[in-house]
Structure 1
Amino acid sequence: MTEHFKPHDRVSWNTPQGMTYGEIVRVITQRTTFAGHTVAASKDDPHYEVASEKSSKHAVHRGDGLRKA
């Protein structure tokens, strides 16, 4: 089961450079476009926009790729 997060939750995710930490910026619950990519999110399968603590860059991840930090 995928964990559900809310804005301001601190999370971690794995990257080729190692574990990265950041904060949930928003919960995406409908199909949208982010940085030129289609995000196929839904209420049953939400995606999360996160901001990296190191770079402050934003990215979108599925819930199953994130862990509470």
Structure 2
Amino acid sequence: MAKAFRIGDHVSWNSEAGRVSGTIIAIHTRDFDYKGHVHHASQSDPQYEIKSDKTEHVAAHKGKALTLLSGGGSRS
């Protein structure tokens, strides 16, 4: 099972622009449409919406792409 995160967790991930950090604002546990694409999610493998700290851009990623930053405990 992938790492589990909570709304409000501060995380980082790789993007085309390099390492980015942000805050989780939503958790999806079912397939959902995001920016014109279907993103696959399930209870055991959710997708997270994260708002970038720097640009406020919102991205969607699975837990395996995210790293919890200091200020929060890992929840597996």
Q: Give the TM-score band, short-chain normalised.
A: over 0.9
Structure 1: gaps (5+ residues): none
Unpaired runs of 5+ in structure 2? Answer: 70-76
How far does the alpha carbon of each residue in 1:8-51 deviate from its partner, in whole angstroms, 9 at most, with x for none? 00000012322110000111000110111101101011000000
TM-score by length of 2: 0.85
1:67 aligns with: 67
Q: Does 1:21 align with 2:53?
A: no
Deviant stretches of 4+, over 2 Å = none
- Of Structure 1 and Structure 2, the greater strand share is in 1
Distance 2:63 2:38 in 1: 16
CA RMSD of aligned residues (A): 1.0
Q: Which residue of structure 1 aligns with residue 4 of structure 2?
A: 4
Q: How many residues align?
A: 69
Q: SS of 2:38's equivalent?
A: strand
